[in-house]
Amino acid sequence: MLYNQYKDMKSMKFKASLFWQEMLADQWELYAPSVRPSKKEIKIWEEYLKKKPAAQTLILGATPELRDLVHKLKHQVTLIDLSLPMMIEMRRLMK
């Protein structure tokens, strides 16, 4: 019985996590830098990455602005985040 309670608790925790990630994605436009990159920071990254044609790029996190940038530059991208649902939710915000 204790095991079943543990499984239920894990399931509730997972659902709460999904809700938080969906909410974060839905409210992304409300967040300001330093939570998300500023337009100036994206421009700096773009100038740097333009010097690296056909680069392999690693992004830590699910930030859609960075993902958009490396796709625009046609870099090969590897994305790492602790949460697959977060990567999926933030993908909705990509251009």
Per-residue pLDDT, 41: 96
Residue 65 or residue 13, greater confidence: 65
Per-residue pLDDT, 12: 58
> Does the predicted TM-score (pTM) go above 0.85?
no
Using the CB atoms, write b or e for 70-94: b if 16+ within 10 Å: beebebebebeeeeebbbebbeebe
pLDDT per residue as tens digits for the range 40-88? 999 999 999 999 888 899 999 999 999 999 999 999 999 999 888 888 8
